[in-house]
Amino acid sequence: MGSLQESRQVLHNIVENIGKVIIGKRHTVEKIVFAMACGGHVLIEDVPGVGKTSLACALARSVDCEFRRIQFTPDILPSDVTGFSIYNKATGKFEFRPGPVMSNFVLADEINRTSPKTQASLLETMEEKCVTVDGRSYHLPQPFMVLATQNPVEYQGTFPLPEAELDRFAICVSLGYPSEEDELRIICGAQVRNNEKLLPVAEADDILLVQRQVSKIHVEREVAMYILAIVTATRNNPEIALGASPRASIMLYRMSQARALYMGREYVMPDDVKALAPCVLEHRLILSREAKISGRKITEIFGGIMKRAQAPSFRHMVPQFG
């Protein structure tokens, strides 16, 4: 019980710390922290200037871990991400020079500004948590998390992420423009709200403990079936050409566990699934040709799926902790 309370407090401390520099986006911040708690990666998609990079940096600075940033451009090579081997004349051997991906938190800034080949260099690291260079594998430090930002595909000079890479992101979130009140606070406090002034409120071992505790959160079979029903509906919808994968089902399951822990529960409720399903699933779905021609939107179609999905009702409750 104590470990659950400690893990919950770690997550709340991180959310509060990020809130010192990111104004008015608490729900989005919470979702990103949930992704970290279940070992997932995050894609932040929005127009320039709304704080995508600042949010990613704030999360990384809130945890006392190694943090590296990769500014993606069209001329970035895969070896610039993963590292490379170089010949050492003194020893007569090749030595591995690790790339920026060999860190706990990796900010892949404007990931859709670089070529598909370089984007693909992140695939192995995100799924296998290791890097292979010249036939040798190198394990990444733990915890490991990729925080990628991208501009909408309508902007010039972008390369849309392939389906395989999109599927490896636990969630995709958008910040949106702040309200007038929040933007006024941002303007007036621009000189004092600096990421570099953030102090860590957690360590690497704290995050690893949280991830272990998340996996212990109980999920009733009825709730798991609810997750399956939502995912299956995306595969059977005629307006969706590519539905959610089993990886998506697993991630929605884990994200729901993380939210339950954050809310102070030892069990997952249908509301956890409802709150997270859009950010976990929507970016993985691809519209059919007919739906695109008709001007349909993924959010609209998925909203209909969620309305039709029958959420289970609990007959008994497990006591809360916290």
- Give residue 37's pLDDT band: very low, low, confident or very high (50, 70, 90): very high
CA 321 → CA 47, 260, 272, distances in Å? Answer: 40, 11, 17
Instruction: Please tell me the least confidently modeled range out of 114-128, 228-242, 252-266, 295-309.
Output: 114-128
pLDDT top residue among 121 and 287: 287
Sign of CA dihedral 186, 192, 194, 199: negative
- For residue 22, give the nearest of 185, 209, 170 by alpha carbon: 185
Query: What is the rounded average pLDDT of the residues 100-106?
Result: 94
Average pLDDT value for the chain:
90
Q: Is the pLDDT of residue 105 over 90?
A: yes
Q: Give the pLDDT confidence score for residue 315 in this predicted structure.
A: 59
Q: Give the pLDDT confidence score for residue 174 in this predicted structure.
A: 92
Q: How many CB atoms lie within 10 A of CB 110?
A: 20
- For residue 74, give the nearest of 114, 110, 108, 109 by alpha carbon: 114
Q: Give the pLDDT confidence score for residue 319 in this predicted structure.
A: 53
- For residue 144, give the nearest of 42, 250, 257 by alpha carbon: 42
- For residue 259, give the nearest of 102, 105, 35, 59 by alpha carbon: 35
- Give residue 247's pLDDT band: very low, low, confident or very high (50, 70, 90): very high
Q: Give the pLDDT confidence score for residue 94 in this predicted structure.
A: 82
Query: What is the rounded average pLDDT of the residues 137-151?
Result: 92
* All residues at 6 or more sequence positions from 117 whose CB lies less than 8 Å from its CB, including other chains: 78
- For residue 77, give the nearest of 108, 115, 106 by alpha carbon: 115
* d(C-alpha 216, C-alpha 214), whole Å: 5
Q: Is the pLDDT of residue 322 over 70?
A: no
CA Rg value for the chain: 20
Q: Give the pLDDT confidence score for residue 286 in this predicted structure.
A: 95
**Percent of the chain clearing pLDDT 90 (strictly above):** 63
Question: pLDDT by residue (tens digit) across 178-231?
Answer: 889 888 888 887 645 566 778 999 999 999 999 999 999 999 999 999 999 999
CA 17 → CA 33, 85, 149, 190, distances in Å? Answer: 11, 39, 21, 16
pLDDT top residue among 72 and 96: 72
Instruction: Please tell me the least confidently modeled range out of 41-50, 128-137, 264-273, 310-319.
Output: 310-319
Q: Give the pLDDT confidence score for residue 156 in this predicted structure.
A: 58
Q: Is the pLDDT of residue 317 over 60?
A: no
Q: Give the pLDDT confidence score for residue 259 in this predicted structure.
A: 98
Q: Is the pLDDT of residue 32 over 60?
A: yes
Domains of the chain by start residue, with CATH:
1-215 (3.40.50.300), 217-322 (1.10.8.80)
Q: Is the pLDDT of residue 1 over 80?
A: no
pTM over 0.85: yes
Question: pLDDT by residue (tens digit) across 281-309?
Answer: 999 999 999 999 999 999 999 999 999 99
